[in-house]
Amino acid sequence: MNELVGASRRALIGNLIQGSFACGIILYAASASEVRHWRSLTWLSAALGVPMVGVAMWLPESPRYESRRTFPLDRDLFLAKNTQMIVIFNIF
């Protein structure tokens, strides 16, 4: 996340990310005091994480990661689709 913002806002974004973990722990403890059954608490915590999948799909990849890629991913997906074989993706 820090790679997507400028240097002037890097400290603010870093503190917001760390603060969100602290708020999540507080919300989890508060919900655990209200929801007594552990399976219901597990479903609740899983449901709260579902929006993060959408956020992860919405955010762009890291610019550093994109600059290290030396091959297009479309080529590997095309090979996997058309040759009916397992393709191991080299991301490093």
Going from N- to C-terminal start, the domains of the chain cover: 2-60, 61-92
With helix as H, strand as E and coil as C, how does the chain read?
A: CHHHCCHHHHHHHHHHHHHHHHHHHHHHHHHHHHCCCHHHHHHHHHHHHHHHHHHHHHCCCCHHHHHHCCCCHHHHHHHHHHHCCCCCCCCC
State the pLDDT at residue 7: 78
Q: What is the pLDDT of residue 53?
A: 84
pLDDT along the chain (92 residues), means of 10: 74 89 91 90 88 79 62 62 56 51
